[in-house]
Every structure is written in structure tokens, then in C-alpha cells.
């Protein structure tokens, strides 16, 4: 779950909804500098469903007693986080092999980049078991795709790595948008036609809904995003009460407009 502050209270945005925004970014992506990606539909599907493992947790989010709000995705204990990501491959496989591969790679990539779990022997053991299982799963999928005349050209290490980096970039960009950019932020290691670049995101001070991006990575002159959250106007000490409040009719429709600098 993502948290977004507002004057009315805390807006909670689910992981699948944030992932849907990533899918919208994927579908608008590409120009002379940033190129295209293949297989297009499957990569867009992976972006849109990269947090599919969160579906069950988001139906009954757990309460962080330290904050009085549902756990943010960065606050969850490692065993719970691992359980969520371990279940992702079973949920993703009905979508197809290529999307499942990118979703699995996204999950392992998170633990490869953010290594706070190494501070605990217990967490290290849990995470390493997860990584070993996912690596084996990924190799099985890659072997299967390489035997397929249609998918084999897209199953090379270079193409897979490029597409994995794209999903990572769309995920990060969606997080920035959904959690509300209030100033300036950079997004590094974004794939281009001939390498990588840094995206510079700037909030337009006189319009809270608009963000400028440089260099511009999209096919169209602007990207309009509409997404939903649920408003909490108080903190909680009781998990059931928190869940009931989330399921009440307190939906908030949010919008963001991305434009070239």
C-alpha cells in the first residue's frame, strides 16, 4: 500500500492500482530517444501486473501499530513481504510466461537492490531461499521461451535485461506520481536506445496535478493519469476498525498530468 498525504487525511493507494498506473506509463512510452520495446503487449502486461502478488494482502491490509495506519509497502516485516512475492508467480502464470518472467525478475530485483534484509540472520535465510527459488523459476521460463519460435528473439539476456529495467523505471515513476511529487526528483538508469539516462521530474508549483519530465520519454505530447485511493481521516489501534474504515465509501479520485519540461 502507498500513502499519500492530503489536507483531508491520509490517502491509501493499493499496490495493484499503482501497478496499473505503471502499465499506463508503459503504453505511452517510447520515442526517438527512448525507442520501442518488444514484445510490446507482454511487457505492458508485466508492468500493469507487477504487483499482482499483493492482491490478497490488499483485501485485508494489516495495521502498523507504530503509525496507526495500514502498513506502507516499505514497512512490512520481511517474512510478510516474502510471502507476498512468493505467491506472485502462481498468480502471474495464467497471464503467460513472458509477463510472469518479468514480474519474477522485478521481485528479485527489489531484494538485490535494497539489502536491508541482510542485517538479520533470520531475514537473510528467508530472502535467500526466496531468491534461489525465483532464480530457478526464471531459468525454467527462459528455457521454455527459447524453445518457442515466437518468443525466442525476446528471450535473449540483452532483451530481457532491457525490459526488466523498463518495468523498474515505470514502477519508480508510478510511485513518484501516486505518492505525489512536491518538489524535484531524479530517476536514474532509465533505458534509452543507446544506453541509459536520468529523468528529471519537477513539480509545477502553481498546479499540484502537473509534473514536468526531462528528457521526455513518451510518444505523446502529454500523459494524463487518473487513479483512485481511499481516505483515512484518523489513526487506529484496532485492525478491524481500520479495515472497516478502508471499505467505507471514502474513495478519492486523483489525477496527474505529465508534460515535457
Q: State yes or no: pLDDT of 83 exceeds 90.
A: yes
Give the global pTM. 0.97
- Report the run of H or E that residue 11 belongs to, with start and end: strand 10-13
> What integer pLDDT is reported at residue 126 of this predicted model?
94
Q: What does the pLDDT look like over 99-128, one tens digit per residue?
A: 999 999 999 999 999 888 888 898 899 999
CB atoms near residue 74 (< 10 Å): 12
Which pLDDT score, from 0 to 100, does residue 119 have? 85
What is the C-alpha separation between 16 and 92, in angstroms, rounded? 13
- The string of pLDDT tens digits covering residues 207-260 is 878 999 999 999 999 999 999 999 999 999 999 999 999 999 899 999 999 999
- Distance, in Å, from the CA atom of 190 to the CA atom of 197, rounded to the nearest integer, reads 5
Would you state the pLDDT for residue 182? Answer: 87
CB 77 within 8 A of CB 121: no
Can you tell me which residue has the cell 530517476? 187
For 233, phi then psi, to 5°, come to -105, 10
Distance CA 124, CA 116 (A): 9
Residues 87, 93, 99, 102, Cα dihedral to 10°: 40
CA distance 172 to 46: 14
Q: What pLDDT sits at residue 80?
A: 95
Grid-cell match 530481457, residue found: 160
Q: What is the mean pLDDT of residues 80-103?
A: 97
Question: In the prediction, which pLDDT does 88 show?
Answer: 97
Could you read off the pLDDT of 161-198 as tens digits, one per residue?
999 999 999 999 999 999 999 889 999 999 999 999 99
What's the rounded Cα separation, in Å, for the pair 106 and 47? 9
Residue 247, Cβ neighbours under 10 Å: how many? 10
Cβ-contact 237, 65 below 8 angstroms: yes
Q: Where are the domains of the chain?
A: 2-179+230-254
159 band by pLDDT with thresholds 50, 70 and 90: very high
**For residues 86-110, average pLDDT:** 97
The burial class, CB within 10 Å (0-12 / 13-18 / 19+), for 199 is buried
Amino acid at each position: 500500500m502507498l500513502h499519500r498525504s492530503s489536507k483531508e487525511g491520509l490517502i491509501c493507494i493499493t499496490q495493484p492500482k499503482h501497478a496499473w498506473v505503471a502499465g499506463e506509463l508503459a503504453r505511452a512510452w517510447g520515442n526517438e530517444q527512448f525507442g520501442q520495446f518488444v514484445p510490446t503487449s507482454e511487457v505492458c502486461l508485466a508492468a500493469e501486473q507487477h504487483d499482482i502478488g499483493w492482491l490478497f494482502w490488499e483485501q485485508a491490509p494489516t495495521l502498523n501499530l507504530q503509525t496507526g495506519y495500514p502498513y506502507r509497502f516499505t514497512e512490512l516485516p520481511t517474512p510478510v513481504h516474502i510471502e507476498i512475492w512468493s505467491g506472485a508467480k502462481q498468480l502471474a502464470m495464467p497471464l503467460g510466461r513472458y509477463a510472469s518472467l518479468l514480474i519474477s525478475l522485478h521481485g528479485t530485483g527489489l531484494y538485490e537492490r535494497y539489502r536491508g534484509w541482510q542485517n538479520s540472520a533470520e531475514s537473510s535465510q528467508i530472502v535467500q531461499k526466496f531468491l534461489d527459488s525465483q532464480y530457478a523459476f526464471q531459468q525454467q521460463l527462459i528455457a521454455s521461451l527459447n524453445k518457442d519460435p515466437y518468443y525466442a528473439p525476446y528471450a535473449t539476456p540483452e532483451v530481457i535485461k532491457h525490459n526488466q529495467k523498463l518495468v523498474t523505471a515505470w514502477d519508480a515513476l508510478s510511485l513518484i506520481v501516486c505518492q505525489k511529487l512536491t518538489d524535484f526528483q531524479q530517476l536514474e538508469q532509465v533505458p534509452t536506445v543507446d544506453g541509459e539516462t536520468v529523468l528529471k521530474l519537477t513539480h509545477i508549483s502553481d498546479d499540484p496535478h502537473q509534473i514536468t519530465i526531462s528528457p521526455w520519454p513518451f510518444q505523446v505530447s502529454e500523459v494524463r493519469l487518473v487513479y483512485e485511493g481511499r481516505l483515512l481521516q484518523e489513526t487506529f489501534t484496532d485492525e478491524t476498525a481500520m479495515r472497516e474504515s478502508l471499505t467505507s465509501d471514502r474513495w478519492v479520485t486523483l489525477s496527474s498530468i505529465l508534460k515535457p519540461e
